[in-house]
Structure 1
């Protein structure tokens, strides 16, 4: 059983974070996040429907809670007579993991504090990292991501992965292109699936590998000064660029998912990686993703390795240039430079 005081404290910190950061999201994004959170709190699956008469009062109650907690501060977590920072994942998990649960904490987009408690699907030691594959999430804030990492701890969040992929896959069958045809032919068309959706869960497992390799690579390539730049972004589009560059470096590094797909000659992994990129990533990486897709279709793995190596070096050079600019001239010059990525990209 979970400690009631622990649950109340984490729930409070989730609400405090949401109260102070909900305005950073667009209205559409906020409503989608609230809908997902509503379903998760009720242990519903992505394919389960909800009724307006049920969710609307819940949203109103949530908004009232946020109003009460505007400008409130996070509170320490008390366990067994000890007090822990909300970000002391090791201290809190020393208690939780023995009971089959895991606690996650970190800073998300906009430097939003993000927390969750979930059940442990499995635990693995991989390349010196403690990897928790998290199944059902008991508590979380409105922000979620398929993976989180802090230091030597990595979380693979199956709930978020399921929700993301369920929406993606049902849109992919309306798109044209070899990559979507390959994925749907490999895992079958969604219209042919039957509960418990064996084909869907096979995609979830495959995508979990992408998340795992990305998170480990991100920690391997982590630079403290890069985090300092992110902290100064203050909800500007610069943050998307800075985080994006870190993501690109991780993905194209020798610890990342592109290299892993290359080593394992795993077309499914590589195609799934390309198809699941967000709008921002596709905007910046479209030429490269197209080159990789074309090479993959002809099994030209040598060309893919050349593309990966060049792309990794490019983003590392961009990072070094930005770091030097930040040290010499400060954040405003970094902002001026990164704004250009939206127009012509960096070389």
Structure 2
């Protein structure tokens, strides 16, 4: 296994710490605690299911918060290049990756939210093309540097970045939450399909292989939604400085991606486990905006077939496409002054 240079590794991890220092406070307490536990396991090189000692984790968090306080005001570091003494800009990934890919490594940088940067450095497992969409998939393995927030899949330009190690940790978080009550519902169906309650680690590789395709379908849907909405959507998202509005805007786009691409593909392929997997993450503002989709899922679970789900996809996509057009019209006409009517429209956008 090729290890990145010490200078590059230190620079990327420092930038991860700076990003966390600036934005960890934006997380809800529940989300922060879940992410910090997994980050602790990753940094210590502990197995996913390693028991954590409260005192040890508490001391580590205190040290990390002290580091964040030291780094919060720092600028992001430029990244060392073999042939560039000045280094490269941290958000310009292409030049560095052109150098790293021959070494079996990949660097990622982007925005996890409208204003939240993220970075990682990982092993590159595979590059493959989705020619019909003009996209490629970048499959990443072991992560050498990462931040607190490590999304398992993102769309970066024309590249779907799938982080297999981050996905494994994300799935373990979901399993830990499920294990508190073992409630009936979609994740229990997933756990049974992969026999996770007997041995999570034994079932994990197959779950990663199969459900990575579900994440890729979502990112294909994001790509299609992005072409449909155009650059004005991103401009609107950045300009409207309100956390609740940002979440609702992202939920509208997610619905366009999943109702138009992900769910129809899973229904066509008759992939029952993947449908359960998708609905295991159907919560928060997305569910608030379209509660009828959960009703259609329950009808399917009750043995009434896929007709209700298929109808919900068609109805929901049409509805949220209309909502998106209304939002963009407000934005084009009024710009940032449209913040209040946009918020009003979003709060009334449920289907």
Taking the aligned partners of 1:15 and 1:147, their CA distance within structure 2 comes to: 21
Taking the aligned partners of 1:261 and 1:149, their CA distance within structure 2 comes to: 20
Give the 3 Å change call, closer, same or farther, for CA 89–330 of structure 1 in structure 2: same
Give the 3 Å change call, closer, same or farther, for CA 214–62 of structure 1 in structure 2: same
Native 8 Å contact 1:261 1:270 kept in 2 = yes
Stretch deviating more after TM superposition (41-50 or 315-324): 41-50
Taking the aligned partners of 1:68 and 1:180, their CA distance within structure 2 comes to: 40
Q: Partner of 1:46 in structure 2?
A: 48
Taking the aligned partners of 1:136 and 1:49, their CA distance within structure 2 comes to: 21
Q: Partner of 1:284 in structure 2?
A: 289
Native 8 Å contact 1:238 1:339 kept in 2 = no
Where has structure 1 moved over 6 Å in runs of 4 or more?
none
Question: In structure 2, which of residues 272, 278, 281 is the aligned counterpart of residue 273 of structure 1?
Answer: 278
Q: Partner of 2:182 in structure 1?
A: 174
Give the 3 Å change call, closer, same or farther, for CA 294–332 of structure 1 in structure 2: farther
Give the 3 Å change call, closer, same or farther, for CA 335–204 of structure 1 in structure 2: farther
Taking the aligned partners of 1:95 and 1:52, their CA distance within structure 2 comes to: 42
Instruction: Report matched runs for 1:188-337 at 5 Å.
Output: 188=195, 190-193=196-199, 197-222=201-226, 223-253=230-260, 256-295=261-300, 297-298=302-303, 300-337=305-342
Give the 3 Å change call, closer, same or farther, for CA 123–144 of structure 1 in structure 2: same
Stretch deviating more after TM superposition (202-211 or 87-96): 202-211
Unmatched tracts of structure 2, length 5 or more? none
Instruction: Describe the SS at the equivalent of 1:105.
Output: strand
Taking the aligned partners of 1:286 and 1:237, their CA distance within structure 2 comes to: 18
Question: In structure 1, which of residues 149, 160, 172 is the aligned counterpart of residue 155 of structure 2?
Answer: 149
Taking the aligned partners of 2:28 and 2:271, their CA distance within structure 1 comes to: 37
Native 8 Å contact 1:24 1:235 kept in 2 = no
Give the 3 Å change call, closer, same or farther, for CA 302–32 of structure 1 in structure 2: closer
Q: Partner of 1:2 in structure 2?
A: 4
Give the 3 Å change call, closer, same or farther, for CA 180–63 of structure 1 in structure 2: closer
Native 8 Å contact 2:293 2:312 kept in 1 = yes
Taking the aligned partners of 1:105 and 1:258, their CA distance within structure 2 comes to: 29
Taking the aligned partners of 1:99 and 1:208, their CA distance within structure 2 comes to: 24
Q: Partner of 2:137 in structure 1?
A: 131
Question: In structure 2, which of residues 3, 11, 14 is the aligned counterpart of residue 12 of structure 1?
Answer: 14
Question: In structure 1, which of residues 64, 87, 94 is the aligned counterpart of residue 91 of structure 2?
Answer: 87
Alpha-carbon RMSD across the aligned residues, in angstroms, is: 2.3
Aligned pairs, number: 340
Instruction: Report matched runs for 1:51-90 at 5 Å.
Output: 51-82=53-84, 83-90=87-94
Taking the aligned partners of 2:152 and 2:146, their CA distance within structure 1 comes to: 13
Native 8 Å contact 1:340 1:346 kept in 2 = no
Cα deviations by residue, 1:36-58 (Å, 9 ceiling, x for unpaired): 11211223232112334433333
Native 8 Å contact 1:129 1:153 kept in 2 = yes
TM-score by length of 2: 0.88
TM-score by length of 1: 0.89
Taking the aligned partners of 1:140 and 1:70, their CA distance within structure 2 comes to: 17
Give 1:294 deviation, angstroms.
1.6
Stretch deviating more after TM superposition (318-327 or 84-93): 84-93
Q: Partner of 2:121 in structure 1?
A: 117
Instruction: Describe the SS at the equivalent of 2:290.
Output: helix
Taking the aligned partners of 1:63 and 1:269, their CA distance within structure 2 comes to: 38
Taking the aligned partners of 2:148 and 2:52, their CA distance within structure 1 comes to: 18
Taking the aligned partners of 1:81 and 1:150, their CA distance within structure 2 comes to: 26
